[in-house]
Amino acid sequence: MKAELINLFQKTYGRLPEVIARAPGRIEFIGNHTDYNGGAVLGAAIDRGVGVALARRDDGKRNFASGQKGGMVRLGAADVARQIGDDAWVNYPLGVLVALPEFGLKAPEGFDYLALSDLPTGAGLSSSAAIELASALVYLAATGQQPARETVVKVGRHAENHFVGVPCGILDQGVSGFGLKDHLVAIDCRGPKFSTVPLPAGAHFWIFNTHTKHALVDGLYATRHRECMEAAQGLGVGLLADVSVDTLRAAEGRLAPVVFKRARHVVEEIARVSQTHAALQARDLAAVGQLLTASHRSSQTLFENSTVELDFLVDQLVRAPRVFGARLTGGGFGGAVMALTAADFSAEDAKKVAEAYAASFGAAPDILHTQTGDGAALL
């Protein structure tokens, strides 16, 4: 990626970049809707990501180009309004610039900027967090600043929440920032606290993106959030992470049936995350896979954030050989399914699943085969 970035930078701006950084995309491994309930989540930084190259300019002008977008967006140093239409992608790098002073950090004045990606966008792999973190790293390096990794993660999330206007949790930026090859990133969302956990050798990820999206996804997300908060209130705690599986069971009669189901998904999912830690420590990928599939079944029946398309893929995958487990990944209500497989799960195996899906739903899902990769870093 570095050589390609240098090449394209030179072609675009007629000179060499001064700093280059790259940040990976991520997969939500397990921990579904646990973040805003104060729980834990495990994510995987993957081996695909977004690279950003930058060279400072003396005239205060800011030029933005991307290998994935046509044309160049030319802004003055005082131009920090949100962009719309074709230029809206610039809100990610621009949002990061605007976020830096909020964390007591300097933003560079003028520069030429180029992004280049081998990560599909809008596929639930968080290309948005990747471009934010890679941007933050080049801005910081160009101005000689080296804040803690935690701060870089927070800058990225702040940009996405407040400038782009997407209310994402800490998973996206946290995993992209703290990722490590052959590891998963564990996040205790309440801190948030970040750590890494070894992933046994031979674990492969296959992502099947259905490109489906429930028409009411934003409203459904808000409803689930409200139901979780209502459950916590009914149980007399601040957040559902403060309730054990046993306490919740004992309190079933105190909650409306739907609210109880939502709470059960979250509380049991938080328990599944800690069971996954134990299974990982025992290097038992079969047990890890069963927890992933159990997470999906809980989404399907309790949290009701799955869809017939996602259920179909999970059913096909768990029946296929060399698959440890499968689940929807991300918020749900459409999107993608992730399978954890052995190394010898092949493109041919994946194709069979995609063909069965196409026979039922008309269009084949996009397939991405990936493994863990390193977190955001200067190149």
Catalytic residues: 172
φ and ψ at residue 7, rounded to 5 degrees: -55, -50
Q: Which does 68 bind (CB under 5 to 8 A by kind): Mg ion, ligand ADP, none?
A: ligand ADP
φ and ψ at residue 107, rounded to 5 degrees: -100, 140
Q: Which does 117 bind (CB under 5 to 8 A by kind): ligand ADP, Mg ion, none?
A: ligand ADP
- Compare residues 66 and 293 and give the one whose CB is closer to ligand ADP: 66
Region near Mg ion per CB under 5 A, out of 119-127, 207-215, 273-281, 348-356: 119-127
CB of 253 to Mg ion, least distance (A): 40
CB of 121 to Mg ion, least distance (A): 8
CB 96 within 8 A of CB 115: no
Q: Which does 89 bind (CB under 5 to 8 A by kind): Mg ion, ligand ADP, none?
A: ligand ADP
CB of 172 to Mg ion, least distance (A): 6
- Compare residues 175 and 318 and give the one whose CB is closer to ligand ADP: 175
Secondary structure of 190-205 as H, E, C letters: CCCEEEEEECCCCCEE
Q: Which does 176 bind (CB under 5 to 8 A by kind): ligand ADP, Mg ion, none?
A: none
Question: In whole angstroms, what is the distance from residue 116 CA to residue 110 CA?
Answer: 20
Question: In whole angstroms, what is the distance from residue 180 CA to residue 49 CA?
Answer: 13
Q: Quick one: tokens of 6? A: 């240098």
- Compare residues 10 and 121 and give the one whose CB is closer to Mg ion: 121
CA 182, distance to chain mean position in Å, is: 17
- Compare residues 128 and 290 and give the one whose CB is closer to Mg ion: 128
Q: Site residues for Mg ion, window 22-81 (CB under 5 A)? A: none
C-alpha closest to that of 220 among 113, 334, 124, 134: 334
Q: Which does 229 bind (CB under 5 to 8 A by kind): Mg ion, ligand ADP, none?
A: none
CB of 90 to ligand ADP, least distance (A): 8
Handedness of CA 142, 148, 149, 151 (dihedral sign): negative
Please give the residue whose beta carbon sits closest to Mg ion in the complex.
128
- Compare residues 128 and 210 and give the one whose CB is closer to Mg ion: 128
CB of 94 to ligand ADP, least distance (A): 11
CB 22 within 8 A of CB 1: yes
Question: In whole angstroms, what is the distance from residue 25 CA to residue 127 CA?
Answer: 6
- Compare residues 123 and 342 and give the one whose CB is closer to ligand ADP: 123
Contacts with ligand ADP by CB under 6 A lie at 50, 66, 68-69, 89, 92, 115, 117, 121-128, 131, 166
Q: Which does 125 bind (CB under 5 to 8 A by kind): Mg ion, ligand ADP, none?
A: ligand ADP
CA atoms within 13 A on the CB side of 289: 23
H/E stretch holding 188 reads strand 183-188
Q: Site residues for Mg ion, window 122-161 (CB under 5 A)? A: 126, 128
CB of 302 to ligand ADP, least distance (A): 25
Q: Which residue has the tokens 């970040």?
A: 194
Q: Which does 37 bind (CB under 5 to 8 A by kind): ligand ADP, Mg ion, none?
A: none
Cα separations (Å) of 91 from 24, 86, 359? 19, 11, 39
- Compare residues 66 and 276 and give the one whose CB is closer to ligand ADP: 66
CB of 189 to ligand ADP, least distance (A): 19
- Strand, coil or helix: what is 362? coil
Cα separations (Å) of 219 from 11, 28, 163, 216, 239? 44, 21, 21, 5, 21
Binding site for Mg ion (CB under 5 A): 126, 128
